Chain A
């Protein structure tokens, strides 16, 4: 089966760094995605990893270890607007079809 685990809630202070972890079990792994979702809005794409290592995009970085089934999203220089849910998603492929399976999301609260 497929399973994705991430913490339910995290709290951090404005200007700090926060790391959101995600562990997964899946067959046909074809990439790991992180999405941001503000309350009442649609998820928006943040980052993508398919090979082991770190990908950096501005204040956000994402890390992947395929052998450990582990990823994390690192947010630096936190801003109030970063308060949102962060969704870890695994894309799996079977016989040429692709499917995104999402975790339950981590609700991040950034405090002043």
Chain B
């Protein structure tokens, strides 16, 4: 597609429910990133996929968080048993691999846990 697409744009869920957030990266971008941004804060790294390599999961805050990337394209971030502190904007980005390659961001999914 023309840009990084994320869905849904907004999600309100009850505490304890599971949620799935979707990211469709720019075609041809082998690298895909998930970040979390709480209100007024910076971007917190969650997970990174590159090609067929094992993902870098070092930023996932707990084992309730998981992500997969199917066929080297679309990615899904899953949060199980959501908690109120999970409320944030979840941003996905994709990039080419190589010097100077910038990351392109989607519009994000605003998650509210009530």
Contacts and interface: CB of A to CB of B under 8 A. Distances in A.
Interface of A: 30-31, 33, 41-45, 48, 50, 87, 89, 96-105, 107
A45 B56 contact: no
B71 interface: no
A104 B53 CA distance: 28
A102 B35 contact: yes
Given A31-B99, A42-B107, A102-B45, 14 more contacts: A31-B100, A41-B107, A43-B91, A45-B102, A87-B42, A89-B43, A97-B53, A98-B95, A99-B33, A100-B45, A100-B103, A103-B42, A104-B41, A105-B41
Contacts of B45: 99-102
Interface of B: 31, 33, 35, 40-43, 45, 48, 50, 53, 56, 91, 93, 95, 97, 99-108
Given A30-B99, A31-B99, A99 B42 contact: no
Contacts of A103: 42
Contacts of B93: 100
A104 B56 CA distance: 21
Nearest to B31: A98
Given A41-B107, A100-B103, A105 B50 contact: no
Contact of B42 (A30, A41, A50, A102): A102
A45 B105 CA distance: 9
Given A87-B43, A97-B56, A104-B42, A43 B31 contact: no
B50 A98 contact: yes
Among the interface residues B43, B48, B56, which one has the most CB atoms of the partner chain A within 10 A?
B43
22 contacts: A31-B100, A33-B103, A42-B91, A42-B107, A43-B43, A43-B105, A44-B105, A45-B102, A45-B104, A48-B100, A48-B102, A89-B103, A97-B53, A98-B31, A98-B50, A99-B45, A99-B48, A100-B33, A103-B42, A104-B41, A105-B42, A107-B40
